[in-house]
Structure 1
C-alpha cells in the first residue's frame, strides 16, 4: 500500500512539475517570437534618428518590448531583410510599401516618422558654376544610395521636372556617409542625393553646394508639388495581423519619441545619441540636427496628401508600378498612432 502511494505521489509530483515548468519557461519558439528586430536603412542618418533615440530614451523597454536595432546602408537592402523574414520591422522610406504592393507583397507603414524627404541634391563645388539646377545634369553622373532606392526615384523625378530624360545622365550607387563623400572627392559623381549630417559636413568642408533643398515642407512642395512622407516604420501585413498588440506598443514608443523631438532642443536630443554618430564633430552634428528638426512628424500620422504624391513620383520611373492599380489605403495605417494620447 505504501509502495503504491509512493508511486502515485511521484507521478503526480512529476506531472505538476512539468506543468509548472511549461508555464514558467516559454518555449524557444515563443522566446524568439517575442523579440522584435528592426532593420534601419542607415541608422546614423538623421532621417532615421527616431529608432536609436527611442532605444536610448528607454521607450521600447517602457512598452515591455525586446527590440534589437540593426542597420543597412540603403533602404532597399533593409526591405529585402524584411521580406526574407530576418527582421520584423523596417525603418525606411514609406515608398517601399507602394513598390512592394506592385510586386504582390503586403507591407504597411504603422508610424510615419518624416513628413518630407529630409535631403538635398548637392553638386560638387568645382562644378557649381556649371551645374546651377537639375537641368544642367545632362551628360553628368548622379550619385544615389542604391539603384532602385528611394533616392534614385526622387532624383530621377527631379531631373524629369527639369525636362531631362533618364538617358540624358547616368546613375551610380555610392551608398551614404563616408562612401558618398569619397565618391565626390574622387570625382566619380557630379551630383548626389544625400541627407544630414552628410549635407552639413559637405557644406562645412566646402566640397559641395545645394541644388535642391527638401528639408522643409515649403521646399518639398516647391520641388515635388506636395509633401512627400519619407521615413516610416513598416511591417509585413501577415505579421501585423497576428501581432497587433506589439504593433500598438511600437507605435506608442515611436510617437513618444516624436513628441520628445518636438519638445526638446537639438542639444538635448544630441546628448541622447551615441558619441560615434557625431563623426568627430559634435557641434556640426548639433547644427545638422537643428536644421533637420522640421522634417519630423509631430504625431506619427500619414499626411493626407502624402501617399498620392509619393505614388506620382514613383509611377514616373518605377517600372514595377507603371500601369498597375495601387490601393494606397493598404500601404499605411493610422490605426495604432491614433490610439496614442
Structure 2
C-alpha cells in the first residue's frame, strides 16, 4: 500500500486527529497514530509507524522530508511515516515534547535551547550546514536601514516566537550593537502570510527562506539585507557554518527505539545522496504542485541557490555545534553551559553511509 502524508491541514487539528488515531487524508488511507515516546504502533506487517512534525513542509530548507516520501525511501527503509505540517519549528518542538509526535523537522539550534530548560533532544540526521535564511528588509526602508545597528526599533517578522528565525533575528540585532529587546519579533509564519504582512506594512523586515524570499523580491517588496542562505554569506554573517535542517528526537526515544531511528536515517541519507546527483529540475518534478507557489521556474531558480546548503551524508559537520553555541550565547548566555555531545549523534547516519557502500 502506498504511504500517505497529510497535507494542507492545520497543525493543531492534525495533531488532535493523530492522537485519536482517526486521521484521514484525501483519497488516501489513514495515517498512523502518533506514539510520542512510547513503543511505535505496528502496521499490518509489523512496520513501525512514526509521526514527524515539520516546521513548513513547503519550504525548500525542509525539502528532504517530502522528497523521501515521493522517492519511496520510507517504504524501502521499512518505516511508515506521517508528516505533519506546521509553520514554525517552535511548534514542532512543542509537539515533540508533548509526546504528540515522535520526531521534529526543525533547526539544530532547538536542541541547545531545550537543554538549558532541562529537556534533552538530539539531532539524529543533520541535513544542512547553513540556515538557508535571509534577513530581508522592506523596500520602503531601503534608504534608512544601512547597517545592523539600524535594525533597532524595527518589527521583524519571524515564523514563530522562539523559532530559529526568531533566534537568527535576535543575533543580527545584537551583533549590530543593540539589545535583544531593541526590536519587536512578530510571528507571521511563512509564505503568503508573511508576504501579506510585508505588503500591509505590519513588519519592517523578516527572516525567511525560499521560496518566500524569491517571491518577496519578485513582488518588489523587500531586499536581502543579511545573506544566511549561501555558504559565503553564512560565513560572513555568522562567522562559520550553522547546522540547520535536522531530524531531532528526544534522547529517551532514541535510546528506546534505535531500530526505528536507523530506518529513518537510512531513508534520509539515501534522499540526500539522491539530491546531490540530480538537477534542480528533476528535484522540482518530484515535489507537490502546491509547493511551487504557482511559479515553477522561480522555484527551480530558488532551489539552485539552496541545494549547496544540504549535506550529502546526514552527518553533523565538524565545528558546526560550536559555532551555533557561540551565536546563541550572544543573546542567551546560559547556552554556554550546554553539553554539545548530548545534542546530536552521528551513530545512525554513519551506519547508513557504511551500508550504502
When normalised by structure 1's length, the TM-score is: 0.88
Supply the distance in 2 between the matched residues of 1:139 and 1:62 (Cα, whole angstroms).
51
Q: 1:143 Cα shift?
A: 1.4
**Shift of residue 324, structure 1, vs aligned partner:** 6.1
Alignment of 1:324-335 (within 5 A): 325-335=337-347
1:63 to 77, 101, 104: 77
Is 1:40 paired with 2:54? yes
CA-based RMSD of the aligned residues comes to 1.6
CA distance in 1, matches of 2:114, 2:40: 28
Contact 1:228 1:310 in 2 (8 A): yes
Relative distance call for 1:29 and 1:180 in structure 2 (3 A) is: closer
How far off is 1:158 after superposition? Answer: 1.2
Output the CA distance in 1 between the equivalents of 2:268 and 2:193: 29
- Measured against aligned partners, the alpha-carbon deviations of 1:176-208 in whole angstroms (never above 9, x if no partner) come to 111111110010111110000001111111111
- d(CA) in 1 for partners of 2:212, 2:40: 41
CA distance in 1, matches of 2:93, 2:314: 20
CA shift, 1:29, in A, is 7.5
Q: Given that residues 120 and 210 in structure 1 are in contact (C-alpha distance below 8 angstroms), is that contact kept between their aligned partners in structure 2?
A: yes
5+ unaligned residues in a row in structure 2: which ranges?
1-38
CA contact (8 A) 2:40 2:49 kept: no
Question: What is the TM-score when the length of structure 2 is the normalising length?
Answer: 0.84
What residue in structure 2 maps to residue 76 of structure 1?
90
**What is the SS of the residue equivalent to 2:268?**
helix
Q: Which residue of 2 aligns with 1:265?
A: 279
Task: Output the CA distance in 1 between the equivalents of 2:136 and 2:40.
Answer: 48
- For the 8 Å contact 2:325–2:336, the answer to whether it is kept is no
Question: Which deviates further from its counterpart, 133-142 or 81-90?
Answer: 133-142
Shift of 1:301: 0.7
Contact 1:316 1:322 survives alignment (8 Å): no
Work out whether 1:228 is the aligned partner of 2:239: no
Aligned residue in 2 for 1:151: 165
Residue 31 (1) aligns with residue 31 (2): no
**Partners of 1:229 and 1:323 in 2: how far apart?**
16
Is this contact kept in 2: 1:197–1:285, CA < 8 A? yes
Give the drift of 1:315. Answer: 2.1
What does 1:83-102 correspond to in 2, within 5 Å?
Answer: 83-102=97-116
Contact 2:51/2:102, CA 8 A, preserved across alignment: yes
Inter-partner Cα distance in structure 2 for 1:29 and 1:43: 23
Higher RCO (Cα < 8 Å, 6 or more apart) = 1
Mark the runs of 5 or more structure 1 residues left unpaired by the alignment: 1-27
Q: Deviations over 1:60-90 (max 9, x none)?
A: 0001111111111110110111111111111
> For residue 115 of structure 1, what is the aligned residue in structure 2?
129
1:14-71 superposed Cα distances (whole Å, 9 cap, x missing partner): xxxxxxxxxxxxxx98427921011101110011100000000000000111111111
Change (3 A) 1:75 1:156: same
Aligned length: 312
**Contact between 2:241 and 2:323, CA under 8 Å: does it hold in 1?**
yes
- 1:323 Cα deviation after fit: 6.9
Q: 1:66 to 1:317 in 2, by over 3 A?
A: same
Structure whose CA Rg is larger: 1
**SS of residue matched to 1:211:** strand
- The correspondence for 2:154, drawn from 111, 126, 140, is 140
Structure 1 residues 323 and 213: CA distance shift in structure 2, 3 A = closer
Higher normalized helix content (fraction of residues): 1
